[in-house]
């Protein structure tokens, strides 16, 4: 199993993973176009069977980044792969000089186990919610905002 930066050739595999969970209402849909446009934000987990996990780190502000599109193939769930993806994205944030990472999640318990704290959405910059305004679930989506402060 290898974690690496995503490549353009990975987009369709990333999209397939995300769509599986989005169709089950466990995460938001991401278009192929959105994944292509932001491919530099993504990492993937790969094994001999192909791409089995993904996640993205989106810089939101000078000291804040978001974990997005976190997904692990169902047959590899509950094996610590999601945790490895999040920890890798956190290290990427630190390498950029960012020590606050947040997530908007339908499964807050996953992030709480990793040390994230539930926060009021109002403390996040308004810029973040611009994506929400265009979502079909707005204003009652059910995603929970969580934040972790990393060591500097």
Task: Kindly report, residue by residue over 71-127, the tens digit of the pLDDT.
Answer: 999 999 999 999 999 999 999 999 999 999 999 998 999 999 999 999 998 888 765
Cα 74 to Cα 39: distance, rounded to the nearest angstrom: 22
* CA angle centred on 66, ends 38 and 23, rounded to 5°: 70
| Domains of the chain, each with CATH number or no CATH | 2-149 (3.40.630.30)
Q: By three-state DSSP, how is residue 23 classified?
A: helix
CA dihedral 72, 73, 76, 81 (to 10 degrees): -20
pLDDT, tens digit, 9 for 90 and up, residues 24-74:
988 888 999 999 999 999 999 999 999 999 999 999 988 999 999 999 999
Give the dihedral sign, CA 145/63/29/3. Answer: negative
pTM metric for this prediction = 0.91
Cα 137 to Cα 78: distance, rounded to the nearest angstrom: 28
For 112, other C-beta atoms within 10 Å of its C-beta total: 15
């Amino acid at each position: 199993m290898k974690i690496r930066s995503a490549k353009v050739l990975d987009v369709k595999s990333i999209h397939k993973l995300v769509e599986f969970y989005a169709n089950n209402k466990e995460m938001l849909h991401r278009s192929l176009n959105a994944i292509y446009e932001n491919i530099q934000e993504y990492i993937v987990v790969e094994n001999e069977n192909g791409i089995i996990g993904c996640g993205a780190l989106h810089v939101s502000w000078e000291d804040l980044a978001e974990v997005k599109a976190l997904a692990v193939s169902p047959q590899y769930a509950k094996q610590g792969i999601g945790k490895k993806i999040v920890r890798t994205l956190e290290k990427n944030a630190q390498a950029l000089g960012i020590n606050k990472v947040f997530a908007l999640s339908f499964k807050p318990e996953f992030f709480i186990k990793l040390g994230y704290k539930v926060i009021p959405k109002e403390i996040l910059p308004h810029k973040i919610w611009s994506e929400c305004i265009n979502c079909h679930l707005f204003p009652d989506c059910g995603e929970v905002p969580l934040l972790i402060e990393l060591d500097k």
